[in-house]
Structure 1
Amino acid sequence: MKNSVGIMQGRLSPPVDGRIQAFPWDCWEREFFQAKEIGLDLIDWIVEADRLHENPILTNQGSKTIKTLMSKTGIRIGAVCADYFMDCPLLRCSPSELKERLEVLDLLIVRLNNLNIKYLEIPFVDNSAIKDAAELEQIKQVIKPTLEKAYQLGVTFAFETSLPDETFKAFLLSLNHPAARANYDTGNSASLGYNPKEELEAYGKLVVTVHIKDRILNGGTVPLGQGNTDFATCFLTLRAKKYAGPFILQVARSGDEIESAKGNLAFVRKYLNE
């Protein structure tokens, strides 16, 4: 498999306030050079609710700096992980809140187009998880009007959910649009006890980004190879589905993020080269 391999933004820097994932305000520029030195291909950018409109990807000056860094290093932004929608979900909110959140979605589409970023990862997990059929229908109605604009601007939504495989597949097919696709998270699926073969047989052809992570069944993130993720089956099935998208390291913290990234890159490339 000749896929690009990237890393989730912040995973090359010390954790922010002890959090496993957060925008690295003090060192985001440096991560482009670190990624290049390690041999990675791309960065998966983070947009959070905290200081939303200060995020460089949403400012004109920040976008100019990002373009310069990409040009200097050859490290591109493969996707934007919209963690904003974890804290501000498109569910269980007032009409005014929904309007504001859809405005953020619209802004993200425009900014991704400006930087030629193809994938916008939208999580429906944890705080934003879809809990029942009524919420699933609600999300369909909220998302459908946004799909054509995203498509026209070259942006594809990569939804991440905790839904069972056939339910998730049905959701994607019901949207019936080339801008509606899936993100697959190896660790989150393992934690939920899902069978990766069954999942990827169900909707593998709709997967456009993959997060590489290892987790314990019903538990947290652990170093790659120490949890319940069946990486061999994941990579084999994705290969069979002709998956051509990026693999993003969204791994456990180690205390030495650079050395950890090197080891994790080697871990992924071993499977890609088999």
Structure 2
Amino acid sequence: MSKLGIMQGRLVPPEPGRFQSFPRARWADEFANAAAVPIDYIEWIVDHYGDDVNPLRAEKGIEHLQRLMDSTGVAIRAICADYFMDFPFVRCTAQERAERLAQLQQILKNGRKVGVLRVVIPFVDISAIKTDDDFRDVVNAMRSALPYAEETGLELHLETSLGPADFKRLLDELPHPLLKANYDSGNSSSLGYNPADEFGAYGDRVGSVHIKDRVKGGSTVPLGTGDADFPTLFRELERVRYAGDFTLQVARGEPDNEVEWTKSNVAFVRKYLNTIGSGEAA
């Protein structure tokens, strides 16, 4: 059954000068705030910025997370591995790639300890797949990572800026049940992609959805005010019988009003969820 979650950091004010990052100062506060919305889960961020204080990186921190999840009923169902924006699998040496694969293996192992189901690996912006060499490097890296996914039982979800045909070609090179696509409604609208074309190409491989809105060629804006085609997106989700999760990765509201802002965004998404047959997000 689909669950509705939120990207980490969206339930507390942003870190100074950063739109999305691990919230070093107030990460623990997000559990109570998520319960107050309510929302099912947090998509946990692992990045270089917060690495030295991220509780998911150490056993004592993992124990703390387990206590917070138990006390609030808010899960961690996904990891957004923005670490691989800072240290991508493309345009690097073989030694660097091996070190990054070792980091991914550790992220998967630690994620399993807190009940994570998937790790989203971004290939956008500075980590985007731009050349044939990049494409081949990603295929080879993910083939090397799949034994780690099998070991832990976690899925690998690729978020890319590739067009529909090229993303399909990438997924066709990696026909493994634990490797899926992450669909980001905002990134697609910014790039001018049509949801019907995207789902027509690889809809059967979509394993998770990031919900946000962006202007074509521009930045993130409040839901319903940009170029994301939500009616078509949710019709396509119904057509492919999508039953995965939805993570809010929305534009920020006013600082310290995160709970109320999230409630309004949840209402926007539920309006569409109620029209599809993938199950109610509770």
The TM-score range, normalised by the shorter chain, is over 0.9
Q: Which residue identity does 2:215 align to in structure 1?
A: I
Is residue 2:145 matched to residue 1:146? yes
What is residue 83 of structure 2 aligned with on the other side? 84
Q: Normalized against structure 2, the TM-score is what? A: 0.94
Query: Helix, strand or coil: the match of 2:153?
Result: coil
CA distance in 2, matches of 1:78, 1:246: 9
Does the 8 Å CA contact 1:169/1:203 hold for their aligned counterparts? yes
Unaligned regions of 5+ residues in structure 1, if any? Answer: none
| AA aligned opposite 1:63 | I
Partner of 2:105: 106
Q: CA deviation at 1:53?
A: 4.2
Match of 2:267 in 1: 266
Identity of aligned residues (%): 46
**Structure-1 residue corresponding to 2:94:** 95
Work out the CA distance in 2 between the residues paired with 1:135 and 1:157. Answer: 18
| Shift, 1:119, TM fit | 0.5
Give the structure 1 partner of residue 238 of structure 2. Answer: 239
Alignment of 1:1-274 (within 5 A): 3-255=2-254, 256-274=257-275
Q: How far off its partner does 1:227 sit?
A: 0.2
Between the aligned partners of 1:259 and 1:54, the Cα distance in structure 2 is 28
- 2:15 and 2:108 map into 1 onto residues whose CA distance is 26
> For the residues of structure 1 that align with 2:246 and 2:16, how far apart are their CA atoms?
26
2:75·2:115 contact (CA, 8 Å) conserved in 1? Answer: no
Is the CA contact (8 Å cut-off) linking 1:158 and 1:181 kept in structure 2? yes
Do the aligned partners of 2:24 and 2:53 also contact (CA within 8 Å) in 1? no
Match of 2:280 in 1: none
Cα separation, 1, equivalents of 2:125 and 2:103: 20
- SS of 1:43's equivalent in the other structure is strand
Larger CA deviation: 240-249 vs 186-195: 240-249
Cα offset, 1:4, TM superposition: 1.0
Distance across 2 between alignment mates of 1:220 and 1:149: 34
Counterpart code for 1:65: H
Alignment partners' CA distance in 2, 1:222 and 1:76: 27
Matched position secondary structure for 1:80: strand
Q: Which moved further from structure 2: 85-94 or 189-198?
A: 85-94
* Counterpart contact for 2:9–2:22, Cα < 8 Å: yes
Contact 2:23 2:50 in 1 (8 A): no
The Cα of 1:224 is off from its aligned counterpart by 0.3
Shift, 1:267, TM fit:
0.3
Per-residue deviation, residues 34-75 of structure 1 (Å, max 9, x unmatched): 111101111000000124243111110110011111111111
Cα displacement (A) at 1:95? 2.9
- Structure 1 segments, 4+ long, off by >3 Å, are none
Query: Structure 2: how far apart are the matches of 1:22 and 1:141?
Result: 28
Work out the CA distance in 1 between the residues paired with 2:137 and 2:270.
40
TM-score (ref. length: structure 1): 0.96
- The count of residues paired between Structure 1 and Structure 2 equals 273
Contact 2:123/2:161 (<8 A) preserved:
yes
In the alignment, the residues of structure 2 paired with residue 91 and residue 38 of structure 1 have an alpha-carbon distance, to the nearest angstrom, of 38
Contact 1:53 1:59 in 2 (8 A): no
Q: Is the 8 A contact 1:10 1:24 kept in 2?
A: yes
Which amino acid in 2 is paired with 1:159? L
Instruction: Provide the rounded CA distance (Å) in 2 between the counterparts of 1:54 and 1:87.
Output: 17
- Give SS of 1:109's match: helix
Q: Deviations over 1:206-259 (max 9, x none)?
A: 111110000000000000000000011111111111111111110111113222
Cα distance between partner residues in 1 of 2:244 and 2:251: 22
Q: Which stretch shifts more, 212-221 or 16-25?
A: 16-25
Q: CA RMSD in A?
A: 1.2
| One-letter amino acid of the structure 1 residue matched with residue 194 of structure 2 | N
Secondary structure of the structure 2 residue equivalent to 1:49: coil
Ranges in structure 2 where 5+ consecutive residues have no aligned partner: 276-282
C-alpha separation between the residues in 2 aligned to 1:91 and 1:207? 22
Name the one with the larger helix percent.
1
